[in-house]
Structure 1
Amino acid sequence: MTLSPKTAHESLINMTELVLPNDTNTFGNLMGGRLMYWMDIAAALACMKHCAAPVVTASVDNISFETPIKLGNVVHIEAKVTRAFNTSIEVHMRVWGEDPVLQYRYKSNEAFMTFVALDPNGKARSVPAIIAESEEEKKLFDGALRRRQLRLILSGKMKPADAGELKALFAGEIEG
């Protein structure tokens, strides 16, 4: 069965949450674990929208918290599929906080997550390819293979010597 490719934009999810007292730490900031929970949900929704199947989280890349999100602020999470491999899907997320009283938005963080699509028996299944249209989507698409190779190396599933895309990236920097 051949799956029809889909555009990255077709997977776009925008999720909004209000930071309530139960979501915060003793400093009045949104707890990192709560934000990661919301990000996981948004990313899974983007993947399910892309492949029309249930998905499970396979990996979470580095999440750096640039700016804390305060109690009473609004969290905006944008999740969009950047690339689909055979059974796995990479999602890029951007997170903003918004002060609804002062009416300004600020960047909180961004991250990549990877999911695997499942068939009705809980086994990995094929997913549609992604068509990157905008310049940003093309840049994220092109970098996805390097990020995937790095994840596979870090998880022990790939030897560094087999990571051709990463080697080419570093060889180009050394030669340049």
Structure 2
Amino acid sequence: MADLMDTYLENRWFVQPNQANNLGTAHGGNVLKWMDELGAMCAMRFCGDTCVTAHLDEVNFRRPVPVGGIALVKAYVYDTGETSIRIRTRVFREDPESGDQELTTESYMVFVAIDDDRNPIPVPDLTVSSDEGEKLLEAALRDES
């Protein structure tokens, strides 16, 4: 069994001009790409197999990340099915000097584990063995609805 905290990942990207839209902020497509990539990493770390994106719930863009700002993406597994893995992804804009963070984007994603022939395969059960893991799980379930 895999533990929730073993799947928790963060990654940061400096938003560059070539990643921006005409308003000088991170292009939504780049933000989605970063979320999808980190979500896939969480899913693969969880089950130890290749995983593919199967579903993306609504994506809520709350505020932009400006060029020169940092896009901080956080993701973790919070639920599983027989072959599916549910991931919570959240993006924050992080001030490079102060480290202050503000939520910008969030979504829930589903990945499916596959074998070498690209057929779905079973995934392990999720365990939660720490207070921090319990808090993350509760937040994902509370905010999902």
Alpha-carbon spacing, 1:90–1:27, altered in 2? closer, same or farther (3 Å): same
Contiguous gaps of at least 5 residues in structure 2: none
Alpha-carbon spacing, 1:23–1:127, altered in 2? closer, same or farther (3 Å): same
Q: Is 2:92 aligned against 1:132?
A: no
Residue 20 of structure 1 deviates from its aligned partner by 0.1
Q: 2:17 aligns with which of 21, 24, 33?
A: 21
Of Structure 1 and Structure 2, which has the larger fraction of its residues in helix?
A: 1
Q: Is 2:87 aligned against 1:91?
A: yes
Contiguous gaps of at least 5 residues in structure 1: 148-176
CA distance in 2 between counterparts of 1:68 and 1:95 reads 10
Are the aligned partners of 1:83 and 1:141 in contact in 2 as well (CA < 8 Å)?
no
Please give the per-residue CA displacement for 1:130-175, whole angstroms capped at 9, x wherever unaligned: 01344334425756xx97xxxxxxxxxxxxxxxxxxxxxxxxxxxx
Structure 1 length-normalised TM: 0.74
CA distance in 1 between counterparts of 2:48 and 2:99 reads 36
Are the aligned partners of 2:2 and 2:46 in contact in 1 as well (CA < 8 Å)?
yes
Aligned alpha-carbon RMSD (Å): 2.0
- Please show how residues 2-13 of structure 1 align to structure 2 within 5 Å: 5-13=1-9
Q: Which has the greater radius of gyration?
A: 1
CA distance in 2 between counterparts of 1:141 and 1:132 reads 13
Are the aligned partners of 1:82 and 1:140 in contact in 2 as well (CA < 8 Å)?
no
Aligned length: 142
* Structure 1 consecutive aligned stretches of length 4 or more whose deviation exceeds 3 Å: 140-143
- Please show how residues 2-81 of structure 1 align to structure 2 within 5 Å: 5-81=1-77
Are the aligned partners of 1:86 and 1:127 in contact in 2 as well (CA < 8 Å)?
yes
Identity %: 28
Structure 2 length-normalised TM: 0.89
Of Structure 1 and Structure 2, which has the larger fraction of its residues in strand?
A: 2
Alpha-carbon spacing, 1:27–1:102, altered in 2? closer, same or farther (3 Å): farther
Are the aligned partners of 1:92 and 1:111 in contact in 2 as well (CA < 8 Å)?
yes
CA distance in 1 between counterparts of 2:34 and 2:116 reads 25
